[in-house]
Amino acid sequence: MFHFPITLPTDSEAFLLVYLLNHKGIMTGSLRSFVKKVGLDNLGKNIKSMNSGIVKISYCLRELKRKNYVKIKNVSRKRQKVELTELGKLMGKTCKILKSSRFNISSL
């Protein structure tokens, strides 16, 4: 069951959803490893250092969790397991379709 209203993710959140969808819906590791896997370029045009990438990915994951697109479980002190929910899978597929049609999500 989906709760309304469904809010569209930002560009960097949409990229994370598509990235998770392409990697079986699960990503495990530290925030630093998430930034290395995703890449600084994909988190935004103003993200130039690893520290700003960690802050940005932390913010994006927090927002995705608030929107009920992902579940975050602490594996250890620094490692986390991020998993897509059913709503997250649906939104990830939607973002993937919009991205493939070269449609800019932030223009909505």
Q: 3-7, 66-70, 100-104: which has the minimum mean pLDDT?
A: 100-104
Which pTM does this prediction carry? 0.82
pLDDT score recorded for residue 2? 58
**What's the CA gap between 51 and 16, in Å, rounded?**
18
Over residues 36-83, the pLDDT tens digits come to 998 888 888 888 899 999 999 999 999 999 988 999 999 888 899 999
pLDDT score recorded for residue 103? 56
Domain encompassing residue 49: 11-100
**What's the CA gap between 13 and 19, in Å, rounded?**
10
pLDDT, greater one: 22 or 8: 22
Does 108 map to a domain? Answer: no
pLDDT, greater one: 102 or 13: 13
Does 72 map to a domain? Answer: yes
Domain at 84, CATH number: 1.10.10.10
Does 6 map to a domain? Answer: no
Does 2 map to a domain? Answer: no
Does 91 map to a domain? Answer: yes
Does 31 map to a domain? Answer: yes
Does 4 map to a domain? Answer: no
- Domain total of the chain: 1
pLDDT score recorded for residue 47? 87
State whether the Cα torsion 69-67-9-80 is positive or negative.
Answer: negative
